[in-house]
Chain A
């Protein structure tokens, strides 16, 4: 398989006055095309920090990140912005939709960055929205007029509107109930099956078992990795395997 992201000796240190906190310590990691990587770890272990470093949202203190053959480590803010718009998509725990724009506009704001053709972007947005079960009637609504689950699906569409090489998701289901969680996960799985590479941080075993690789973060490094096959629903064995792995990791 083709490696699309390589992180080498990543370090991230937060300092507040004299206090220093080393969150990532010489962390190494590779992500291959078509992967659905799940990152787990206890709260405060640095999962989000890692995700931000990988996606060029934040700069690591030391170490390098190479993505799609580009070495992004020394990039300035503008170059990072261009890198993100061309290669990365994001879904967060809160959907962060802009409440004052319609659903469609929310997606187009991101879409317009990579493609100036408004019509084409609108078409693509509508197509993707239909795909995640957001019907026509909701396109011109405002985010607050949608349910939490619907909002998060809109946020997923916003994340993939520019066909990113990598989709980063930081606890995308953290704020949802179980039915909506299932729906979002199905969307992500579906996208992954179509070839979308996904990196997802989660606390939830139900989410974690969707991935084909689970990486455990502890003490600033990846302490363990579990390979699972492609996801099939109702796979009891997969769940058990994951449980044992997490137990071993001290979760």
Chain B
């Protein structure tokens, strides 16, 4: 064993820079791998812990105060319910917010819960203890972690021209309202007195609501409970679902909390695995190259009586040392970056990230990184170690021949220069192909990075379309919106107005039954952010559209008849189309208002979406409407969505940056290795060239140029292929969250940036690495002969 270590150590010394590079690569892969694995496996715990500490509601409904009088009765009758609680809260339809004098760019929805009220379900969980004063506010933790608000800051609401000032007392964590991706509302705590004062002054935009919360008995099946409770509410307290309301069940919110973080980390995991792949390819070339250069040393060791297995053993040992160091350094780096990662995660999720170092994930990282590198070392050293000793000793590196004699000069008809070029490319065929593959992959990765950045961070319209969130250019929330909508539609600047109501329905098909929230639109065909995968939007009162998740659950297809149970009646509907949604975990139904009337005998309306005529901007429209109808609050759709999409945008930006950085790193590594081996290998030739009168500059240029073609072609192929590869790849990732139809679109400009970025990095590193040609002295080399 010691003799193996002895050789391994020596080999490592000999190729310090190679070993260094590989260690670096493994460090990086280990770091990314650890980050993705540990966060993916701990995310649930973070959410679970907040759930325990707050005694979070398993079922939550926010609805108009007046509709909740007999809620207790309804819940008392439910066998699955362990406890029920009602607390009041004020729903702020739209407010700008000002932190330390700085106005937010977006408007947002707030929910003011009352700090003085006794509560057992969804308790306040905050590290800032003590009584809340009238001028103080407890903000959601997300505002601290993502929006960088701090305790002690001045925080003001800007509602309908008035501002309401508070001092930030601290932050509270609530897994139901953890981040705006989950529920597009910031839930805050203020005193009873203050909330009432505000509500009295802003009747149109602060609505008195009621939070109904239930804890369910352990083992309650959420789907069944949802069906039963919606039946019960529809029957005994129909007003609760007829006004604007939202309700959700914890089992689906749990995933909502961590969804954007999970997607991001999932992508990072794939990327880490890709990096390990690259490290393995480089290991392979390194060992192959080392064997070629040291074929005689290997021969002499075998002549001295080393067994083949001992020599492969020394390579395996060497890679063991490298990968061990790499993964340990990577894990240490993860400890160092742990704080940053924690802040990042809590800014995405909106709960405090209290996870320390995770030994289990670290063990997984080690168990992945080390054995695979060792296996590759074993495999790639076998070939050269197995070479007969005599041939090993006979042939120096220069004329040693692992290869076929490609393009024999005697037979070929090409010009000599081209022939020699082809010879050298084909001589190292496998190597060049490997590099081409690596660079191509990186090119694709870069393009995908840009693609998701563009689709999810820059182009929010596009994102909204994927998400299926319809807000209109301007929207209204509240009660009795129907007549008001007809008013609004008469404005010359308004193109059209769509009315949305919603309610819970039950679907029966093929012996299966499921509950789902259904949106009712007066004219669904005009919805802007509706992505229909198959069929068309409902037009008639006997048609329904279901989201793809539901269709798969029921096994239903377009044209089939589904049985729908509403509040009073049960009706047949034809499935006219399938769409995609990601809110409510992709579980949604959609029908026309006429369809709703057929089912429920009446229609609801909780939201008005107003669309501007061409040439009228959202802002102008909002101002115009607010001036004209001051009693109601018109909200700009984009501003509202901008706020709730912040976590996704952050994740996507981050991924894009990581992709770029790692691409630059790996391209640099590859070019560095490529050129370094070339220079070491041809040191003698360079000496001779210098003796013949070549300048360093000439040699440098020649060397740099020799390495670029393969890089450039790789990058070019990558950016060309990205459309082919990226779509399906991103598609697979997104399918898991309910986005079934996603056409990734990478702009030409991004492809060019990718190309320039990779080539530029390669060129720069090549010139820097090539600088060592300067040190080669013509005289010394010739004298050595």
Same complex for A and B? Answer yes
Instruction: Name 9 interchain pairs, CB-CB below 8 A, sorted by A.
Output: A81-B306, A81-B308, A83-B305, A84-B305, A96-B299, A98-B297, A98-B300, A100-B10, A113-B304
Q: Which residues of B contact A109 (CB under 8 A)?
A: 3, 6-7, 301, 304
Give 10 closest A-B pairs by Cβ, nearest first: A85-B305, A84-B305, A110-B304, A100-B14, A112-B3, A81-B307, A96-B300, A58-B390, A78-B307, A57-B389
Q: Does A140 contact B (CB under 8 A)?
A: no
Q: Which A residues touch B299, using CB under 8 A?
A: 96
Known pairs A57-B390, A109-B6, A113-B3 / 7 extra A-B pairs, C-beta < 8 Å? A57-B389, A81-B306, A85-B304, A88-B305, A90-B303, A101-B10, A114-B305
CB B503 to nearest CB in A, in angstroms, measures 78
> Per-residue CB proximity of B112-131 to A under 8 Å, as 1/0?
00000000000000000000
User: Which chain A residue lies CB-closest to B299?
Assistant: A96
- In angstroms, Cα B13 to Cα A105, docked, is 13
Contacts of B296 in A (CB 8 A): 94, 96
Contact B393 A85 (CB under 8 A): no
Is the beta-carbon distance between B297 and A96 smaller than 8 angstroms?
yes
* Shortest CB distance B777–A (Å): 15
Interchain nearest-CB distance for B600 vs A (Å): 84
Bound form: Cα–Cα A81–B386 in Å: 12
CA distance A84 to B308 in the complex (A): 13
Instruction: Decide if A3 is an interface residue (CB 8 Å cutoff).
Output: no
Report if B101 contacts A (CB, 8 A): no
- Which residues does chain A contribute within 8 Å of B309, judged by CB atoms? 78
Assembled-state Cα–Cα distance A86/B304 (Å): 9
Bound CA span A114–B306, Å: 10
B3–A96 touching, CB < 8 Å: no
Closest to B302 in A: A81
Interface string of B2-24 (1 = CB under 8 A from A): 11001100100110000000000
The reply to whether the CB of B388 lies closer than 8 angstroms to some CB of chain A is yes
A57 to B393 Cα, complex, angstroms:
10
* Chain A residues positioned under 8 Å from B306 (CB to CB): 81, 85, 113
Mark contacts of B179-200 with chain A using CB atoms, 8 A cut-off: 1 yes-contact digit, 0 otherwise. 0000000000000000000000
- In the complex with contacts A109-B7, A118-B2, A82-B307 CB distance below 8 A: yes
- Does A108 make an interface contact (CB < 8 A)? yes
Assess whether B305 is in contact with A82, with CB atoms less than 8 Å apart: yes
A77 in contact (CB, < 8 A):
yes
Taking CB atoms, residues of chain B closer than 8 Å to A77 are 307-308
Q: Indicate whether A92 reaches chain B with its CB closer than 8 angstroms.
A: yes
Asked if A112 contacts B13 (CB within 8 A), the reply is: no
On whether A52 and B307 interact (CB within 8 A), knowing A98-B10, A112-B3, the answer reads no
Judge whether A116 is part of the interface by a CB distance below 8 angstroms: yes
A contacts with B: majority SS: helix
Which chain B residues have a beta carbon within 8 Å of chain A's beta carbons?
2-3, 6-7, 10, 13-14, 296-297, 299-310, 388-390, 393
What residues of chain A lie closer than 8 Å to B310, measured between beta carbons? 81
Contact status A96-B393, CB under 8 Å: yes
Shortest CB distance A97–B (Å): 8
A92 pairs with B393, CB closer than 8 A: yes
B302 contacts across to A, CB distance below 8 A: 81
Contacts A90-B303, A96-B393, A98-B297 given; does A116 touch B308 at CB 8 Å: no
The complex places the Cα of A52 from the Cα of B302 at a distance, in Å, of 12
B307: chain A residues within 8 A (beta carbon): 77-78, 81-82
A63 to chain B, nearest CB (A): 17
B-contact 0/1 string along A112-124, CB 8 Å cutoff? 1110101000000
User: What residues of chain A lie closer than 8 Å to B14, measured between beta carbons?
Assistant: 100
With A and B bound together, what is the CA distance between A55 and B390 in angstroms?
11
Q: From B6, B308, B389, give the contact of A112 (CB < 8 A).
A: B6
| B388 & A58 in contact (Cβ 8 Å cutoff) | yes
Given the interface contacts A98-B10, A105-B10, does A116 sit within 8 Å of B2 by beta carbon?
A: yes
Q: Are B10 and A112 neighbours in the complex by a CB distance under 8 Å?
A: no
Q: Which residues of B contact A101 (CB under 8 A)?
A: 10
* CA A78 to CA B303, docked complex, whole Å: 12
- Name the residue of chain A whose CB is nearest to the CB of B11: A100
Cβ-closest chain A residue relative to B13: A100
**In the complex, residue of chain B having the shortest beta-carbon distance to the beta carbon of A82:** B305
**Complex: A100 Cα to B296 Cα, angstroms:** 13
How far apart sit A23 and B504, CA to CA, in the bound complex (Å)? Answer: 93
Interface centre among B305, B310, B389 (most CB of A within 10 A): B305
Q: Mark A142-185, 1 if CB is under 8 A from B, else 0.
A: 00000000000000001000100000000000000000000000
Residue among B299, B304, B306 with most chain A CB within 10 A: B304
Residues on B with C-beta less than 8 A from A88 are: 305
Q: Given A78-B308, A109-B3, A112-B3, A84–B303 Cβ distance below 8 Å?
A: yes
List, in ascending order, chain B residues with CB within 8 A of A55's CB: 303
Distance from B394 Cβ to chain A, minimum over Cβ atoms (Å): 8
- With A96-B300, A112-B2 in contact, is A86–B13 under 8 Å at CB? no
Interchain nearest-CB distance for A79 vs B (Å): 9
* Given contacts A96-B297, A98-B297, A105-B10, A58 and B305 within 8 Å (CB-CB): no
* Complexed CA–CA distance, A118 and B5 (Å): 13
- The minimal Cβ–Cβ distance linking A248 to chain B, given in whole angstroms, is 31
Q: Which of A58, A78, A84, A100 contacts B304 (CB 8 A)?
A: A84
Kindly report which residue of chain B lies nearest to residue A159, judged by CB atoms. Answer: B304
B297 CB to nearest A CB, Å: 5
**In the complex, per-residue mask of A187-200: 1 if CB is within 8 Å of any chain B CB, else 0:** 00000000000000
Distance between Cα atoms of A203 and B306 in the complex (Å) = 30
**Which B-chain residue is minimally distant from A161 (CB atoms)?**
B304
Least CB distance from A45 to B in Å reads 16
Query: With a CB–CB cut-off of 8 A, which chain B residues contact A118?
Result: 2
A98–B632 CA distance with the chains assembled, in angstroms: 87
Closest chain A residue, CB of each to CB of B1 = A116
Report the minimal beta-carbon distance from B393 to chain A, rounded to whole angstroms: 7
* A residues near B301, Cβ cutoff 8 Å: 109-110
Closest partner residue, chain B, to A51 (CB atom): B390
A113 touches B393 (CB 8 A): no
Name the distance in Å between B314's Cβ and chain A's nearest Cβ.
Answer: 10
Q: How far apart are the CA atoms of A86 and B310 in the complex, in Å? A: 16
Determine whether the beta carbon of B7 is less than 8 Å from that of A113: no
CA–CA, A191 to B13, complex, Å?
35
Given A98-B10, A100-B13, A100-B14, decide whether A57 and B303 contact each other with a Cβ distance below 8 A: yes
Chain A residues contacting B393 (CB-CB under 8 Å) are 57, 92, 96
Q: By the criterion CB–CB under 8 Å, are A90 and B2 in contact?
A: no
A88 to B303: give the CA distance in the assembly, Å: 9
Complex interface: chain B residues within 8 A of A112 (CB):
2-3, 6
Whole-angstrom CA separation of A57 from B305 in the bound complex = 9
CB distance from A167 to the nearest CB of B (A): 12
The smallest C-beta distance from A168 to any residue of chain B, in angstroms, reads 9
| A contact residues around B308 at 8 Å (CB) | 77-78, 81
A144 — nearest CB in chain B belongs to which residue?
Answer: B784
Nearest A residue to B310, CB-CB? A81
B10 CB to closest chain A CB, in angstroms? 6
Give Cα A88 to B302, complex, Å: 12
Q: How far is the CB of B138 from chain A (nearest CB, A)?
A: 66
Interface contact A52-B6, CB-CB below 8 Å: no
Task: Tell me, in angstroms, the Cα distance from A162 to B299 when the chains sit together.
Answer: 18
CB distance from A166 to the nearest CB of B (A): 13
Residues of A within 8 A of B13 (CB): 100
State the CA gap A101–B3 with chains docked (Å).
14
Name the CB-closest residue of A to B294.
A98
The answer for the CA separation of A105 and B307 in the assembled complex, in Å, is 19
In Å, the complex CA distance between A78 and B307 comes to: 5
What is the chain A residue whose CB lies nearest that of B389? A57
Closest chain-A Cβ to B289's Cβ sits at a distance in Å of 15
Return B398 CB to nearest CB of chain A, in Å.
13
> In whole angstroms, what is the CA distance A114 to B297 when docked?
19
Contacts of B390 in A (CB 8 A): 52, 57-58
A108 contacts B304, C-beta separation under 8 Å: no
Q: How far is the CB of A59 from chain B (nearest CB, A)?
A: 9
Q: Which residue of A lies closest to B10 (CB)?
A: A101
Once the chains are docked, how many angstroms separate the CA of A84 from the CA of B310?
14
| Nearest A-chain residue to B385, judged by Cβ | A77
| Complex partner residue of A90 from B6, B10, B304, B388, CB under 8 angstroms | B304
